[in-house]
Chains A and B, each alone.
Chain A
Amino acid sequence: MVAALTVGTRVLALVILGIGAIVGLAMAVAGAGQAFGVHGWIVLIYCLVIAWRVMLQLDAPEPSPSRLRSYYDDPIKMGVVLTMAWAIVGMGFGVWVAYLLAYPDLRYDAAWTGFGRLRPVHTTGIIFGFGGTALITTSFHVMQRTSRARLAGEFTPWFVLLGYQLFVILAISGYLMGINQSKEYAEAEWYADLWLLVVWITYFTLYIRTLARRAEPHIYVANWYYLSFILIVGVLHIFNNVALPVSWSGSRSYILWSGVQDAMMQWWYGHNAVAFFLTSGFLGMLYYYLPKRAARPIYSYRLSILSFWGITFFYVWVGSHHLHYTALPQWVQTLGMTFSIMLLVPSWATAANALLTLNGAWHKVRDDATLRFMMVAAIFYGMATFEGSFLAIRGVNALSHYTDWTIAHVHVGTLGWNAILIFGAIYALVPVIWRRERMWSPRLVEWHFWLAVAGTVIYVFSMWNSGILQGLMWRTYNDAGTLQYSFIDTVMAMHPYYMGRAVGGTIYMIGMLIGCVNIWMTIRKAPEAGYLRDMPKTPAGDADDRRVPAE
C-alpha cells in the first residue's frame, strides 16, 4: 500500500508522523507519572509504528501515473479490516459488560475492570470505532463511485482514516485509566477532542474536493446524507466540547457551559450523534448499497430528497426529549417531544422507500443474504424510529426513562439497523474492492445473517421485558401508600433478562466472528474476477489515455 504512494507523499507522511511523534514525546514528558503521560507514549508509539511501515518501502519505485485513472481503493481495504477489528473490540466489551451486569462479581480488584470504565469502552469502541470507521470507509467508496472520480489526493484519505483511529484509541484507553469528561458519547478529554477536530475538518474538505472533481452533473443523494453527517457532527462536536484545560500537561478540563445549559448542550449533541452519526450517515450507506445490490434504482428519488430535508431539519430540535421532567423548561421539553413525533414521517418515508425498492425483487432477497441484511436493516430502522417517537412522549418516557427499555430501543437501532447494515454493505463491498467474483462462502454469509437476527431478537426482547417490568415495579404502591418493592427486589427481578441479553449478545458476536473469517478468506482465497473493472474504456474498449488528471 505504501509502494502505491509517490515518493513525495511518503516523505510527507514521514514529516507529519515525525511531528506527531514529537508531540507525543512532549506529552509523555510533561505528563510523566499521570495518565496523560501514558497517552503521550501511545501517540509516540502509534506514529513510530506507522513511520516504520512507511520507511520499509521508502525506496520502492514510483508508482505508474496510469493509477490516477482508476479509483483509489487502498484506504478502503484498510478501512474494511479496521472496521471488523473494531467490531471485535466493541462487541467483545459489550458482551463482557452484559455478563458483568448479570454477575456483578465477575471482576478483579483493578479499577479498570469496573462497570463504569468498561461501559464507555463498549459504547465508544462500537459507535465511533466500528460505526465511524465503517462510515469513513464506505464514504470513500460511495463518493468515488457516485462521482465517477478518484479520491482527491492520496495522502488525505490515509490521514483521515488513521488519524481517526488514533482518536478512538486515545478515547478508550483513557476511560480505562479513568480519564473521562462525563458526557455520554463525548467522554474523551480536550486534547483528543482537538485532534478529532483536525481530522474531521480534513475529512470534510476531502469529501468536498472529491465531489468537485465529479464527472456526474448531479450529486447523488447518498452523498447528501454523508455530507450532513460530517458537517453536523463537526458542529456538535465543537459546541459540546468547548472546554478549558486546567493545564497543558494534564487531562482535566472544565466545560464552558454550566447547569441546565450544559445538560441541554449535552443532549442536543447526544441525540444528534444518534441522528447524524447513526442515522444520516447510515442512510447514505443504505441509499447506495441497497439499490446497487438489488440492481434497481431507488423507488422514489424525489421522496429520498424530501425525507432528507425532513430528517435533517427535524432531528436538530429533538434533543430535549432526553431531559423530560428535569430542570429544563417545560416548553423546551414539549418542543422536543413534538418534533420527535413529526420525525416519524420522514423516517418511515425513508424505510418505505427502501422496502419499495425491493418490491418486485423479493426473489433476490430470498436468494441473496447480503441483500437480506440490508432489507432487515431497513425494517429495524422503521422499528427503532417508531419506538423512539413513542418513547419521546412525556408520559411514556416517565415509565421508560432510566430502565432497560431505553437499552432495548438503543439496541434495536444499533444491532438491528446500524450493525446489520454495515455487514450488508461490507459483504457487498469486499468482492468489489478486492476484485473477487463473490464472497468466499455464501453459506457463511447466510449463517451470519441468521445469527445476527436471532441475537438481536433475543437481546431486544430480554430488554423490553426487563425494562417494562423494572419501570412498573418502581411505580407500584401498596395499600399503605408506600412503594411495594425495594430497589434490590427490582435488581433481582432483572437477573434472568440480563442472562438472556448476554446470550443474545454472544450469539450476535459469534455471527460477527464468522463474518470476519469469511472476509479474511475472501481476501486470501476467493476466485479472482479476471478483469480490472474501474479502468476507463473508450467505446472501442481500449484504455482511454485522454483523461489523465492534472494532479
Chain B
Amino acid sequence: MDVSHDTLVVIAKTVGLFLLIAMFLAAVVYAFWPSKKAKFDRAARSVLDDEDGPCR
C-alpha cells in the first residue's frame, strides 16, 4: 500500500488535529471533574503516612 505524502498531510491536519484536541480535553475533564477532588486530595495525603499498615 502506498500512502502519498499529501494524503498523510490531509489526515494529519484534519483527523489528527481533532484527535489531539479530544485527547487533551479528555485529560482535562478527568483531572478537573469536581467530584474527583476529594478522591485526589485523599490520594495526595495517603503517601505521607504509609509505613504502618493496613497491609495486605
Residues of A with Cβ closer than 8 Å to B?
A: 69-71, 144-146, 148-150, 213, 215-218, 220-222, 288, 291-292, 295-298, 301-303, 305-306, 309-310, 313, 329, 331, 432, 533-537, 544, 547, 549
Contact = CB atoms under 8 A, between A and B. Distances in A.
B46 interface: yes
B48 A148 contact: no
B53 A148 contact: yes
Given A145-B50, A305-B30, A70 B44 contact: no
B15 interface: no
B21 interface: no
Contacts, number: 97
A221 B55 contact: no
Nearest to B43: A218
Interface string B21-43: 00100011011100000011111
Which DSSP category, helix, strand, loop or mixed, fits chain B's interface?
A: helix
Contacts of A313: 23
A537 B52 contact: yes
A216 B43 contact: yes
Nearest to A71: B55
A534 B46 contact: no
Contacts of B56: 69, 148-150, 213, 215, 547, 549
22 contacts: A70-B53, A146-B47, A213-B56, A215-B54, A216-B46, A218-B43, A218-B46, A291-B47, A297-B47, A298-B44, A301-B40, A301-B44, A305-B30, A305-B31, A306-B27, A329-B5, A331-B5, A432-B51, A534-B55, A536-B54, A537-B52, A547-B54
A144 B27 CA distance: 27
B48 A297 contact: yes
A213 B54 CA distance: 12
A533 B28 contact: no
Task: Select the residue from B23, B30, B40, B47 with max chain A CB neighbours within 10 A.
Answer: B47
Contacts of B41: 297, 301
B32 A302 contact: yes
B55 A309 contact: no
Contacts of A292: 47-48
B44 A297 contact: yes
A142 to B, nearest CB: 9
A150 B50 CA distance: 12
Contacts of A296: 48
Nearest to A70: B55
Contacts of B5: 329, 331
B33 to A, nearest CB: 10
Contacts of B39: 217-218
Given A146-B46, A292-B47, A297-B44, A306 B28 contact: yes
Contacts of A305: 27, 30-31, 40
A222 B44 CA distance: 10
Given A144-B55, A215-B55, 17 more contacts: A69-B53, A148-B50, A148-B56, A149-B55, A218-B40, A218-B46, A291-B44, A291-B48, A295-B48, A297-B47, A302-B40, A309-B27, A533-B52, A536-B52, A536-B54, A537-B52, A537-B53
A22 B44 CA distance: 48
Contacts of A310: 27
Contact of A150 (B45, B47, B55): B55
Given A217-B39, A309-B27, A534 B47 contact: no
A17 B27 CA distance: 45
Contacts of B48: 291-292, 295-297
Nearest to B26: A309
A183 to B, nearest CB: 27
Contacts of A291: 44, 47-48
B11 to A, nearest CB: 13
Given A145-B47, A291-B44, A291-B47, A302 B55 contact: no
B53 A535 contact: yes
A148 B44 contact: no
A71 B50 CA distance: 11
Contacts of B44: 291, 297-298, 301
A432 B50 CA distance: 11
Nearest to B40: A301
A145 B42 CA distance: 15
B39 to A, nearest CB: 5
